[in-house]
Amino acid sequence: MTDRAPVDLYVMDLPAEADETSQPLVVIHGLLGSADNWRSHLKVWQRKRRVVAVDLRNHGRSPHAEGMSYRAMSQDVLAALDKLGIEQAHVLGHSMGGKVAITLARQAPQRCLSLMVADIAPVAYQHGHDDVFAALEQVREGQPTNRREADALLAEHVDSRPTRLFLATNLVRDEQGVMGVRVGLDEIKRGYEDIIGKPDGNVPFEGATLVLRGADSHYVSDDMLPALREVLPRARLVTLKNAGHWLHADQPEAFQQAIDAFIAAQS
């Protein structure tokens, strides 16, 4: 089966405020996230360099399309960089976006000045999003007209308020005032086996790599490190204290500092 043409992704392209000679940073969000989730970080990094954040296919403002393979998603990102005239960049991905970033780095290493992977390993994971999908389905069927109604519908499947607030970033109001789900939920569910699978690629990425993990997260456990080293042999592992899977939200300053220091060390 051949890959379809790349999806024309929505891109948030922020010009550097200071040093125009710095190489750009590309940011790739995780499952059910979007570029919008990264705005506060993007503004900080924009002080030093051009920052590009994408909405992956079936996420945010990007089109909906069948197929959630990491090869297809990385090709989408590369096509976006081509369109922006970016030949090389530092690439940062969180969770599912980390697997997209790993795939991009393995398939087009010449485009990747350095790789930063936030709280994900290049391994297959177990199913873990059934409640989240059910919550979004509940909203889609319930057709709430305000945030309180939407939260009540989400709460029928998701107890965690922080998780519900995150999911609510995917809700948009239509012309009739009904709040709907903007992600391609059906396409994501059909592609879920690919999402929880390994990133694509047959060779290691030999470039400079930073792997950040949350001390309170199970996504990059010690027993996964041998598999991680096979794919990312030059990976430097940093563990952020008092941080879970959304480590960039739990410890924003420490996260930013780790990224800044790593990129600075590559120049």
CB 56 within 8 A of CB 30: no
Residue 20 DSSP SS3 = coil
Instruction: Respond yes or no: is residue 69 known to be catalytic.
Output: no
The Cα angle at residue 75 between residues 70 and 78, in degrees rounded to 5: 125
Of 105, 91, 100, 113, the closest CA to residue 31 belongs to 100
Residue 235 DSSP SS3 = strand
> Among residues 59, 157, 245, 248, which one is catalytic?
245
Instruction: Respond yes or no: is residue 186 known to be catalytic.
Output: yes
CA 198 to CA 66: how far, in whole Å?
19
CA 106 to CA 202: how far, in whole Å?
8
> Among residues 131, 186, 216, 260, which one is catalytic?
186
Phi, psi of 179 (to 5 degrees): -90, 125
> Among residues 95, 157, 217, 250, which one is catalytic?
95
Instruction: Respond yes or no: is residue 19 known to be catalytic.
Output: no
CA 127 to CA 119: how far, in whole Å?
17
Of 210, 196, 202, 205, the closest CA to residue 240 belongs to 210
Active site residues: 95, 186, 245
